[in-house]
Amino acid sequence: MGGCTSIGSSNTITRPDGNGVDFLKIYDFLEEVGRGQFAAVHKVRLHSCPSQCFAAKVMKKGVTFVDGVVHTPLSKEALSREVDILRVLEGKKNVVNLHSVFESPAKIFIVTELCAGGDLFTYLSSQRSGKISFGDLSWIGYQLLSAVDFCHAHHIMHRDIKPENIMFKHQMDQSPLKLIDFGCGCFMNKKQGGERAHSKDSDENEIEFATVFAGTPFYVAPEVFGGCYSYSADVWSIGVIMAVIMAGYPATDVQEAFDLMQEIQGRDLRNFPGMPSNLPEAYFDFLDRLLNVNANRRESTASLMKHDFTRTAHDFGTSEDSQQLLQAHGADGKKKRRPSFLDDELTQSIGRHCTYLNFLHFQTKAAVLIAASLTQAQLLKLLVVLEASTMGDLGIVTLWEVREALNSIGEVDLLEDFGQEGRTYNRYAFELAKLKNLVTNYAQVPVPKSPRNRNSTMVAGAGLGLPAAGNSAQFLNIGTEAGAKKFTKKKKFDLGGSVHGTRAFG
């Protein structure tokens, strides 16, 4: 049986709008639209006005018990920080708008505007035109830079900019973009409770640095792995996203793409896996500036908003009010396209995004099937086998390796239940963290002391997931700053969920 215990009698959130009972008096729950290890997002509507819908993020607080095992979700500080950040930003400049906050002894309810267009991959895959124009790409890039620039102006780093945290208001072309999920965010200003270190540049201007590892490794800047970074780390993450929008997520070439972006000399981003061959120079120049490996030379968001590539969007304007959208689409609702460069060169991008989105859905179904079909002992054995595989250091395995691992522990290939759909994705990168997050609901396992891992035990749900046994212990270290630094030297990374210190924000 599961249960939850309050971490204290005092509220975690300053000035909540009410408690859990108040929340239920104001809102009706509709369908669930997303779920992580310690939170679920639901579509809700107002009792008083059923046509008005919002998104409610329901977060567990305190200590959770599942089958007698202790799980520790977010700290009080982390729970309150996300709300504090949203209150400061006030939903301006492409940042999601906070509507209200409620707190019960067991949960926190964060109600924000509803983004019905879905996340980045969902939105791109849904475009009726079947194409991504450079006008569209410029518009997305400009809005994302605008959101992050506004955060930085308020001494806030997001630290987990990735496709899942970029939402769209609707599925029409040129939809307003919204940056969401500040669970890994931080205040850099000490007056706001920041976690910065002090330094000065050549002109003796004070620079604000953060030192705690946070983010989703594929999208994280090189300096974050080193444990000392500043606002420009968010700029790098935008660069990775702008590459992925054009080329598609490199599901079968993840390490190759990661290594290419981090090359110091002789790098040519035209070689990014899946990148269309004949794209304007302005795009690659923009990408090179975003993905400058030298953090001190990486341009600011304000500067990049004036780049030739984003000028189309800048000239178009950034207002999100209904009049602006009407002018963009026309009274009949048909889109008036902004000038674009080579639409025909980008027609395959939608197909790549659709394919990867389908794989993400398949990956979730496969992880749930495996976790539900095997015993706890079988799951632990499976994870040990997978972590010892060829791509173990990456935190990913191919789907084919999952099949082989199932066979090696004497179990039938459960993925055969998916038929041809499963075989289609044999070379795709399967995130081990997806399976670990499910397993942590059922087990707490001691971690043996070894040169790779000095910790004697870990609580289930900490780090990137399930503590492993034997030689697989090195996999856990990526969830710590020390482990992140070590993996950087190898130029390898763990594709697990977002990480803040030793806490995973799946």
CA distance 38 to 215: 17
Which sequence spans correspond to the domains of the chain?
2-113, 118-349, 374-505
The DSSP-derived string for 363-407 is HHHHHHHHHHHS-HHHHHHHHHHHHTSTTGGGTEEEHHHHHHHHH
3-class secondary structure, 451: coil
Give CATH superfamily name and number for 118-349: Transferase(Phosphotransferase) domain 1 (1.10.510.10)
Binding-site residue ranges for ATP: 57
Summarize pLDDT for 440-465 with one digit per residue, the tens.
544 433 333 332 333 322 222 222 22
pLDDT at 69 over 60: no
Whether 458 contacts 436, CB under 8 Å: no
Of residues 312 and 80, the one with the higher pLDDT is: 80
Residue given tokens 């942590």 in the structure block: 440
Cα 181 from chain centre: 8
Going from the C-alpha of 407 to that of each of 19, 300, 365, 366, 404, the distances in angstroms are 50, 50, 19, 16, 5
Q: How confident is the model at residue 74 (pLDDT cuts 50, 70, 90)?
A: low
- Nearest Cα to Cα of residue 393 among 503, 499, 484, 293: 484
CATH fold for the domain made of 2-113: Phosphorylase Kinase; domain 1 (3.30.200)
Summarize pLDDT for 40-59 with one digit per residue, the tens.
899 999 999 999 999 999 98
pLDDT at 433 over 50: yes
| Structure tokens that stand for 161 in this block | 């900019």
Cα 33 from chain centre: 16
pTM to 2 decimal places: 0.75
Summarize pLDDT for 180-225 with one digit per residue, the tens.
999 889 999 755 545 554 444 444 445 577 877 777 888 999 999 8
- Nearest Cα to Cα of residue 64 among 504, 465, 459: 459
Q: State the CB neighbour count (10 A cutoff) for residue 39.
A: 21
Can you tell me the mean pLDDT for 59-82? 65
Can you tell me the mean pLDDT for 465-481? 29
CA distance 478 to 483: 4
CA distance 416 to 411: 12
pLDDT at 499 over 70: no
Going from the C-alpha of 237 to that of each of 159, 270, 287, 491, the distances in angstroms are 8, 18, 11, 17
Binding-site residue ranges: 57
What are the backbone dihedrals phi and psi of residue 77, each rounded to the nearest 5 degrees, phi first? -65, -45
Do the first three CATH levels of 2-113 and 118-349 match, i.e. the same topology? no
What are the backbone dihedrals phi and psi of residue 391, each rounded to the nearest 5 degrees, phi first? -100, 20
pLDDT at 477 over 60: no
Q: What is the pLDDT at residue 444?
A: 39
Q: What is the pLDDT at residue 22?
A: 97
Q: How confident is the model at residue 314 (pLDDT cuts 50, 70, 90)?
A: low
The DSSP-derived string for 186-245 is EE-SGGGT--EEEEE-TT--EEEEE-S-EE-GGGS-HHHHHT-B-THHHHHHHHHHHHHH
Q: What is the pLDDT at residue 415?
A: 81
| Structure tokens that stand for 81 in this block | 């920080």
